[in-house]
Amino acid sequence: MTVFYDIDAYYFFDPSLIESYPTVMEIGTFSTTAAQSLLEMNATSRIILVEAEEASADKLKKECEQRDMPSVTVLHRALAAADGPIAFNLYTSRNANSIFDRRRQLRETVTVPGRCLQTLLDEAEIYRLDLLLMNCEGAEIHALQNLIDQPSLRERIGQICVACHRSKIYKTHVWNELLKALEEFYTIKQEKINSAFYLLRPHKDEATQ
């Protein structure tokens, strides 16, 4: 029976599939909570935090310095379908910030560096990513589509824990179609309490256990 590890109230993963010196990327965060939890579990972890809002990215960098977390790197980037500048919407509720129109009270729209998932790995100099965490207010659909379309990208990434924003940002059928396609490559588990979070484990990694 697989025992899953809860990083926080949302993210979880299968520790049996994690290497001794793991590399983890978290896309869409304005807190180091998950990074701290991962380092407590494995102090040798290398962690990359990707945040689209510049002020939040700067705050993360300062927090990492204050907490003496030299193995944590912060990138000011937005996950996107393709590389290049992209409009990013800042809402009064910052956890709603998104490259998508959320139809909420908008503070402002800014232009930020957009990167597809493969480019994020390249810029962080990651050959093999053990764990990918995504809670990026809709942009996850671009990363998941990239994984479906690019076998070489799938080879570079182990487990994926992702928040689904179906019905809030995109239609439910969009998510369901992505999951159906991803089932060819991954075993998919839905979190019981926070049902918007899903864990994708590559079939080949499970076969080696």
Contact 201/131 with Cβ under 8 angstroms? Answer: no
In a domain, 83, yes or no: yes
Q: Which of 204, 201, 206 is nearest to 13 (CA)?
A: 201
- DSSP states along 94-119: GGG-BSS---S-EEEEEEEEEE-HHH
Q: Is residue 66 part of a domain?
A: yes
Q: 8 in a domain, yes or no?
A: no
| Whether the predicted model's global pTM rises above the 0.75 cut | yes
Mean of the per-residue pLDDT values for the chain?
92
**pLDDT for the residue numbered 205:** 59
Per-residue model confidence as pLDDT tens digits over 52-66: 999 999 999 999 999
| Domain around 108 | 21-207
* Domain CATH number, residue 107: 3.40.50.150
Average pLDDT (185-189) is 95
The stretch 179-190 carries a mean pLDDT of 95
pLDDT at 206: 52
Decide if 3 is inside a domain. no
Q: What is the pLDDT of residues 89-133, one digit of tens each?
A: 999 988 899 999 988 899 999 999 999 999 999 999 999 999 999
Q: Are 164 and 173 in contact (CB under 8 A)?
A: no
- Rounded CA gap, 149 and 206, in Å? 21
Is residue 6 within 8 A of residue 194, CB to CB? The reply is no
- For residues 38 and 2, the model is more confident at 38
Q: Give yes or no for a contact between 198 and 190, defined as CB atoms under 8 angstroms apart.
A: yes
Q: Domain tally for the chain?
A: 1
**pLDDT on residue 126:** 96
In a domain, 100, yes or no: yes
pLDDT at 85 over 70: yes
At residue 61, the pLDDT reads: 97
In-domain check, residue 11 = no
For residue 145, being part of any structural domain is answered with: yes
Question: 15-48 pLDDT, tens per residue?
Answer: 999 888 999 999 999 899 999 999 999 999 999 9
Residue 10 inside a domain? The answer is no
